[in-house]
Amino acid sequence: MKSKVQFRLRIYRDDSIAIGPGKIALLEAIAETGSISAAGRQLGMSYRRAWMLIDEMNKALSSPAVSTAAGGSHGGGTALTAVGEQIVKHYRAIESTARVATAADITALTRLLAQ
């Protein structure tokens, strides 16, 4: 069985994950779809779960990562705020930097795993 190597960054605020891989994926899906429900569907999660993740993240931040507009005759929608865009940008940059900086050590560790 081949091992899957993953770098998982999580930033906690108190006991909850304020920023992590699932929330980043959700932010990216919201940016792509313009909708919490469509983003949730894309990621295989319920609207309720997606909304709870966004709410948890927004409560942990000094400014919200996502803004929503109610539906109606003009339609609703969801978009990332400038803070949300910065979170995704910095998170992905950290992942990229860490992947490069730790490549040799990760290779060495994976060679120690059973085949």
Q: Which domains does the chain have, with CATH numbers?
A: 11-67+76-111 (1.10.10.10)
Structural Rg of the chain based on CA atoms: 17
Taking only the tens of pLDDT, the chain with its 115 residues reads 566 777 789 999 999 899 999 999 999 999 999 999 999 999 999 999 999 999 999 999 999 999 987 766 556 789 999 999 999 999 999 999 998 999 999 899 989 988 8
At 11, list the tokens. 């930033």
At 93, list the tokens. 């940059």
DSSP H or E run through 78: strand 77-80
Q: How many CA atoms lie within 13 A of 22 on its CB side?
A: 13
Q: Given this model, what pLDDT does residue 68 score?
A: 85
In angstroms, the CA 105 to CA 88 distance is: 26
| pTM of the model as a whole | 0.86
